[in-house]
Chains A and B, each alone.
Chain A
């Protein structure tokens, strides 16, 4: 293949077996992450972004969730084949993750210092004192003032933004090669959001890790992502670099997403959200899942499912608009 990938996800299928049917939360997703780059995953609520991330960590809540098919190659090794014990060696060490809600993601009954040093002592053979020193450096790195004293504080003694900084410090404790950030700014104030994004950008420059940034905010994509995967109803609908995504978006769903962000500060008119609702993942009809809401939908869209195709170099789309010939053949 020649190119050096840190992570390659191939045909990933993750589903939940519920009483009312099988939910295909992730349905055939393909992407790769190069060392040091930032990949964005965007999509509406329920489109399978978090489940894609948790699948990589093999932390899909099970039961009822299960990875049913696919490969997740990390430096060429398939994580799906790894045992739970081998995965524990990778989590928090090679691949770490931060979550949407910093209020609930830290354990309320342990000090921040305890929670930070714990990660270090799990993966590195260090003494308690060395771990504490490193923890102080980490808090300093993520911009928490008076780090040494703050180690003794409990999570409830920090503000939301500060807690997310603590989460980031914890995730970076063991110099991971990949950081998965699942909507790390969604629960924060706008000004704090910008600070956290700045911090992640700065840390990536200093430490060189790759980031998978999950968001439903295209502003965040524009800010820090190199390449972007757009998801809809568990499927990957478009995958390309940031510039192409904003300049020549191909998928009607992506058009909708782009339309729903204000172009200029002055343009304060109501955002044009995509009309309609995402489909019920338990009862997907045949054809394209977006057909119901798609302004360009044709009769064939409700019959035939589209395939992911490279329509231009480095630009993958899953839409019948770009599969004309095939449709007419049938």
Chain B
């Protein structure tokens, strides 16, 4: 097992190199003069020159790549050409915001999706089954931006229940430790900030979690239905086990494997969906950062953020594979 994890981590190196070349090429392959395209037509020759010098655009490509990688390994992801803030600093506050939102969405999606799937399977053809599966059908086909705008219209504009944007209300103070606001407010015992950040994350969390929730619910249901027909479920019943043990222990642990695969995929989807959600709800995360950087042609930022997202993606895949081992002892990794 340890060997397997080490092997998988070593595999990260070629993936990392591949992605870094792609991200690097993105900036250099823009037709025309990259410096001009970043600074726009109104830029003076002096400004263009200084940017070229800063990004070493005059060097041959391999030299540029080598010096970029050297910086990356040292932990220097470059600077925004617009704000001149260091990318690593920007990302260190924005990445937790994105991860917090994605995890929140994923947890909602898993808890509600898995529960709905289990109940639908256990009470097949009941009104609950029909209702939740119809809901899931709507859920998968719901565009995030439309759902997000509808939520803002209903819960913020009309009902005034929830704030439409941001992570925290103006004037709410929170001492940040991890930059996960829900966690930080618990760690510092700041009950007011906890309620405030929860109110802020609720709508974007649900908007982002709806599609994965629907997919997880359908997957759980079909997987559970298959498992509930198996012989070992009959054995568990013949042993006189309580119904919840039969369903939540014996059936669920078997049915969870395909669901886990789906969850792994969904996490990747969440990172993508985060761009939309963060933009709609003005959530100060990486997704919105990338989006704004693309709009303002801030390519050094785009390049480094893509690198980080790709690494996260691969790590999540690894975690999913390791969880597999827990749910299915028959899988061997050596």
Asked whether A and B interact, the reply is yes
Interface residues of chain A, those whose CB is within 8 Å of chain B, are 57, 59, 84, 87-93, 96-97, 99, 101, 104-111, 118-119, 122-123, 154, 156, 167, 170
Q: Does B89 lie at the interface of the complex (its beta carbon under 8 Å from any beta carbon of A)?
A: no
Q: Does B333 lie at the interface of the complex (its beta carbon under 8 Å from any beta carbon of A)?
A: no
8 Å CB interface, B215-233 against A: 230-232
B253 adjacent to A110 (CB under 8 Å): yes
A90 adjacent to B329 (CB under 8 Å): no
Closest to B236 in A: A107
Given contacts A109-B329, A118-B241, 16 further A-B contacts (CB under 8 A): A59-B234, A88-B241, A91-B239, A92-B238, A92-B239, A92-B240, A92-B241, A96-B238, A99-B235, A99-B238, A104-B230, A105-B232, A108-B328, A109-B327, A122-B239, A122-B245
A156 adjacent to B330 (CB under 8 Å): yes
8 Å CB interface, B316-334 against A: 327-330
A90–B241 Cα distance when bound, in Å, is 10
Q: Does B188 lie at the interface of the complex (its beta carbon under 8 Å from any beta carbon of A)?
A: no
B240 adjacent to A91 (CB under 8 Å): yes
User: How many residue pairs between the two chains, A and B, have CB atoms under 8 Å in the bound complex?
Assistant: 76
Between B234, B235, B250, B327, the greatest number of chain A beta carbons within 10 A of the residue's beta carbon is seen for B235
Q: Does B261 lie at the interface of the complex (its beta carbon under 8 Å from any beta carbon of A)?
A: no
Q: Does B170 lie at the interface of the complex (its beta carbon under 8 Å from any beta carbon of A)?
A: no
Closest 8 CB pairs of A and B: A92-B240, A91-B240, A92-B239, A104-B231, A107-B232, A97-B238, A88-B240, A105-B231
- Supply 22 A–B pairs (Cβ within 8 Å), ascending by A: A57-B238, A59-B237, A59-B238, A84-B243, A88-B243, A90-B240, A97-B238, A99-B235, A104-B232, A105-B234, A107-B232, A107-B250, A107-B253, A108-B232, A109-B253, A109-B327, A110-B250, A118-B241, A118-B245, A119-B240, A122-B240, A122-B245
Q: Does B292 lie at the interface of the complex (its beta carbon under 8 Å from any beta carbon of A)?
A: no
Q: Does B242 lie at the interface of the complex (its beta carbon under 8 Å from any beta carbon of A)?
A: yes
Given contacts A101-B231, A109-B328, contact A91 B237 (CB under 8 A): yes
A110–B253 Cα distance when bound, in Å, is 9
B240 adjacent to A93 (CB under 8 Å): yes
Closest to B253 in A: A109
A122 adjacent to B241 (CB under 8 Å): yes
Residues of B within 8 A of A96 (CB): 238-239
A244–B226 Cα distance when bound, in Å, is 45
B173 to chain A, nearest CB (A): 48
A122 adjacent to B242 (CB under 8 Å): yes
Residues of A within 8 A of B327 (CB): 109
Residue among A87, A106, A154 making CB contact with B235, cutoff 8 Å:
A106
B241 to chain A, nearest CB (A): 6
Residues of A within 8 A of B235 (CB): 99, 105-107, 167, 170
A91 adjacent to B250 (CB under 8 Å): no
B159 to chain A, nearest CB (A): 43
Closest to B233 in A: A107
Residues of A within 8 A of B236 (CB): 107
Residues of B within 8 A of A105 (CB): 231-232, 234-235
Q: Does B254 lie at the interface of the complex (its beta carbon under 8 Å from any beta carbon of A)?
A: yes
Between A93, A106, A107, the greatest number of chain B beta carbons within 10 A of the residue's beta carbon is seen for A107
A12 to chain B, nearest CB (A): 18
Between B232, B240, B241, B328, the greatest number of chain A beta carbons within 10 A of the residue's beta carbon is seen for B240
8 Å CB interface, B139-165 against A: none
Closest to B254 in A: A109
A119–B238 Cα distance when bound, in Å, is 10
Residues of A within 8 A of B234 (CB): 59, 99, 105
Closest to B251 in A: A107
A97–B238 Cα distance when bound, in Å, is 6
A51 to chain B, nearest CB (A): 13
A123–B253 Cα distance when bound, in Å, is 23
B232 adjacent to A89 (CB under 8 Å): no
A110–B252 Cα distance when bound, in Å, is 12
Closest to A114 in B: B249
A156–B242 Cα distance when bound, in Å, is 25
Closest to B124 in A: A63
A122 to chain B, nearest CB (A): 6
Residues of B within 8 A of A119 (CB): 239-241
B240 adjacent to A123 (CB under 8 Å): yes
Residues of B within 8 A of A118 (CB): 239, 241, 245
Closest to B230 in A: A104
Residues of A within 8 A of B237 (CB): 59, 91
B276 to chain A, nearest CB (A): 38
Residues of A within 8 A of B328 (CB): 108-109
A119–B236 Cα distance when bound, in Å, is 9
Residues of A within 8 A of B239 (CB): 91-92, 96, 118-119, 122, 170
B240 to chain A, nearest CB (A): 4
A97–B236 Cα distance when bound, in Å, is 11
B293 to chain A, nearest CB (A): 46
Residues of B within 8 A of A84 (CB): 243
A272 to chain B, nearest CB (A): 33
A106–B254 Cα distance when bound, in Å, is 12
A86–B237 Cα distance when bound, in Å, is 13
Residues of B within 8 A of A99 (CB): 231, 234-235, 238
A93–B235 Cα distance when bound, in Å, is 13
Closest to A153 in B: B329
Residues of A within 8 A of B243 (CB): 84, 88
Residues of B within 8 A of A90 (CB): 240
What per-residue 1/0 map shows which CB atoms of B289-315 lie under 8 Å from chain A?
000000000000000000000000000
B234 to chain A, nearest CB (A): 7
Residues of A within 8 A of B330 (CB): 108, 154, 156
Closest to A123 in B: B240
A167–B236 Cα distance when bound, in Å, is 11
A167 to chain B, nearest CB (A): 8
Residues of A within 8 A of B250 (CB): 107, 110
Residues of B within 8 A of A123 (CB): 240
Closest to A96 in B: B238
A184 to chain B, nearest CB (A): 13
A92–B241 Cα distance when bound, in Å, is 8
B188 to chain A, nearest CB (A): 39
